[in-house]
Amino acid sequence: MCTGACAKCLGGTLIPLAVFGFLANILLFFPGGKVIDNNDHLSDEIWYFGGILGSGVLMIIPALLFLGLKNNDCCGCCGNESCGKRFAMFTSTIFAVIGFLGAGYSFVISAVSINKGPKCLNDNSTWGYPFNDGDYLNDQDLWSKCQEPADVVPWNLTLFSILLVIGGIQMVLCAIQVVNGLLGTLCGDCQCCGCCGGDGPV
C-alpha cells in the first residue's frame, strides 16, 4: 500500500474514534444519565477533558491531514516530482506525534480515573472518593459506598474504559502513521511514480 493511501486509511479510522471519545467525555458530565446539581460533585478527571481535547480536538486535526495526503500534489515543489509529497509526509509525521500525545493524555487520565473511582456521596454524608487503588473493580459490593449520584460507579467506569480503549487504539494508529510518514519522507509515495514526466519511482 502506498504511504498516502495508508495515511488516508488511518485518518478515516481516527475520525470516528475521535467523535466517540468526544461524546464519551460529554456523557461523563451527566452521571447516571442525569443532570447533577453541583458541578463540584463531578470527578476531577472529567474536567481534564481527556476525551474532548486529547482524543478529540488533538486527533481530528491530524486525522483530516491524513485524509488529504492521498490527493496531495506529488509535484508541489517547483516541479520537483518528489518534494511536495515528501514534505507532506514529513508534516504528517509531526501531526501524528501530536495526535499520539493527545491520545496518550486521554489514556493516562482515563487510567487514573478508573483506578481512583468516581467522586460521590459517601455513607458518611460527605462527598469524596471512597475507593482505594481500584479496590472496587474486583468487588462490586463496595459500589454501595456511593449513594449519589445513582449508578455513578458503572457510568464512570464504562465511559472511562471506553476512553481508555479509544486512547490506546489512537496511540497505535498514530505510531503507525509516524512510521508510515517517515517512510514516505525517505522513500516517497508509489503514486508519484512517473509524475510530471518522471520515469522512475520517487
Q: What is the pLDDT of residue 23?
A: 97
Share of the chain above pLDDT 90, in %: 67
pTM: 0.85
Sign of CA dihedral 40, 41, 44, 47: negative
- Mean pLDDT, range 101-109, rounded to an integer: 98
> What mean pLDDT comes out for the span 131-140?
92
106-131, pLDDT tens digit by residue? 999 999 999 999 999 998 889 999 99
Q: Taking a C-beta distance cutoff of 8 angstroms, is the pair 16, 68 a contact?
A: no
C-alpha cell read off for 137 = 473493580
pLDDT tens digits for range 158-179: 999 999 999 999 999 999 999 9
